[in-house]
Copies of this chain bind each other. A is one copy, B any other.
Amino acid sequence: MLEALKEKVFRANIRLVEAGLVILTWGNASGIDRSKGLVVIKPSGVGYGELSPEKMVVVDLNGNVLEGKLRPSSDTPTHIVLYRNFEGVNGIVHTHSTWATAWAQSKLPIPSLGTTHADHFHNEIPCTRFLSEEETEENYEMNTGRAIVETFARRDYLSTPGVLVAGHAPFTWGKSVDDAVNNSIVLEEVAKMAFLTKMLKSDVETLPVYIIDKHYSRKHGKNAYYGQKETLGND
């Protein structure tokens, strides 16, 4: 069942290790088959060296395990809330990558300070609020997803495909699980660049809006001209 998607989700998880974004058993990637409404996700607490496509777990959008001998990632309810609310999203990644996590621990959004950021995230990468004690004690992971959705109430999740969960770490998403991995790689890099920029110039201003818009639209949307014909404007 969903063998091709399991393979993609497996490889996406491995890419997280190769890119230096996860250590030990931290982090997880998932993908969804929108036609069937089924999510493929990493099993919980399994080391990356022991992963294989067959060990991926299939769950429905109510969180029921439909296939797989292992328990799904403990963050599965967060992924499900995001898939339910962000309909254009087909892949989700969660890591504790170092520099992005430092911003999340600071409860500060990552400002758009350069074109590296603007090429991939149209605006600042926001940070959620802390969950309340009640939200933490019951349905914690589901409420984490809800806090992310709340953060995007007046933002466009497609053009800003990532978020910092306050005191926790980042989530990213994309039109495929591979795209979500790319966004995690970019998020970690812009988190580091923004940190270094702040250290050099504590009162640095964000990039002028017309440069932000130019760079984002070079790569995304109908007037995109970065890349080759088959990919232009696809993301």
Q: A residues touching B (Cβ–Cβ < 8 Å)?
A: 23-26, 43-46, 70-71, 74, 96, 98-99, 101-108, 113-116, 130-131, 133, 136-137, 140, 167-169, 182, 185-186, 189, 192-201, 204, 207-208, 210-211, 214, 218, 225-229, 231
Contacts and interface: CB of A to CB of B under 8 A. Distances in A.
A98 B136 contact: no
A193 B105 contact: yes
A185 B85 CA distance: 36
A45 to B, nearest CB: 3
B113 A167 contact: yes
Contact of A105 (B44, B45, B182, B197): B197
Contacts of A208: 130, 133, 136, 167
7 contacts: A43-B228, A102-B193, A107-B201, A108-B201, A115-B167, A115-B168, A167-B211
Given A71-B229, A98-B189, A200-B103, A136 B214 contact: yes
B136 A193 contact: no
Query: What copy number does this chain have within its complex?
Result: 4
Nearest to A200: B106
A210 B131 CA distance: 10
Given A26-B116, A137-B210, A140-B218, 15 more contacts: A25-B227, A45-B231, A46-B228, A71-B227, A101-B114, A101-B116, A103-B200, A105-B194, A107-B201, A114-B167, A137-B214, A140-B214, A167-B208, A195-B196, A199-B199
